Amino acid sequence: MNDVNRDDRTMIQTQGLTRCFGALTAVSALNLKIPRGEIFGLVGPDGAGKTTTLRLLCGLLDPTEGQAWVAGYDVARDTQPVKDRIGYMAQRFALYGDLTVEENMFFYADLFGISMAHRDLLMGSLLKMTRMEPFRKRQVGRLSGGMKQKLALMCTLLHRPQILFLDEPTSGVDPVSRRDFWAILYQLVRDGMTVLVTTAYLDEAERCNRVGLLHQGHLISCDSPEALKSQLEEACFEVQGVNQRAVREALQVFEGVISVEPSGATLHVFMPPAHSSAEVLEKKLHEKGLGPVTVRPVIPSLEDVFIALIRKTPRNAQEPPMPQGGTTRT
């Protein structure tokens, strides 16, 4: 990594990383710097460039422009040293349903060239960490979705990678299994691993040390979840009334209101700080005959920040659909 400034803690770095597919720019001039021992979340709508970014960093795709370094190695020039130091868990990780948990692990251990002695030691450690010991003899086809994801992670970790790339690892997994999966990730990071994860859940992204928000291939913001929420210029108010549809329609034409977005059973209203007042909003809604209604200032969620930033981004291409309240998938 002689071309760029780096320190020994930098595990992933990109400079102007770009990938085009014909006229489509899937990733545009991406600049990232991720230190050792961090969980970094890459968040964005479908088609934002998350999976393409991971494939570029793993050396599975060649960049159109720019460079990427992983564990100090140029991904384009030093393919084998990079592969030796990373684990990549794709959205569709290949598990064999007619084999047992341990037979799948044996298979991947053989692929990685792990000796018998090391294999047994690593498998025992991974099965204990993931609480999968009671299921080592169970056929994979009989496992729950969460258990299959744990097994895929164990197979990815067998060769002791320094860096772990995870592409939406908890998609379609129940909430309890998602929680267990993240507990495992925290343990890996405490042991010194670096994790880059793409996620379809904005509430899950808040578990990351830092988050990069991708939109149409562009990194539109990058910081810790708390910093991203504190940097939002607009004031955010939570509004709840009897007739939410009528309340939303009224709010959208009020002076000073920038946007109104569904958030579960409530509405989140964004206004410039100079024109914002919960009391004024509540009074106007009552005057429109829309009471009873409650309005209170709230700290914006990461979902609120994401929506607000996208609305400020120039429309270089067709805008993706906006998340609609609750747990947002992007």
Please list the pLDDT of the chain residue by residue as tens digits (330 residues): 444 444 568 999 999 999 999 999 999 999 999 999 999 999 988 889 999 999 999 999 999 999 999 999 999 999 999 999 999 999 888 999 999 999 999 999 999 999 988 898 999 999 999 999 999 999 999 999 999 999 999 999 999 999 999 999 988 888 888 889 999 999 999 999 999 999 877 888 999 999 999 999 999 999 999 999 888 888 999 999 999 999 999 999 998 888 898 988 899 999 988 777 899 899 999 999 998 999 999 988 898 888 888 877 665 443 433 333 333 333
Sign (positive/negative) of CA torsion 37, 41, 47, 49?
negative
- pLDDT (0 to 100) of residue 315: 52
3-state SS class at 168: coil
Q: Decide whether 10-227 matches 232-312 in CATH topology.
A: no
- Hey, what CATH class is 232-312 in? alpha beta
The angle formed by the CA atoms of residues 97, 100 and 102, to the nearest 5 degrees, is 130
- pLDDT (0 to 100) of residue 171: 84
Annotated domain spans of the chain: 10-227, 232-312
- pLDDT (0 to 100) of residue 274: 77
CATH of the structural domain 10-227, one choice from 3.30.930.10, 3.40.50.2020, 3.40.50.300, 3.40.920.10: 3.40.50.300
Q: What residues contact 298, with CB distance under 8 A and at least 6 apart?
A: 236, 237, 238, 268
d(CA 127, CA 104): 13
d(CA 106, CA 110): 6
- pLDDT (0 to 100) of residue 197: 97
Q: Which two tokens stand for residue 149?
A: 């994801």
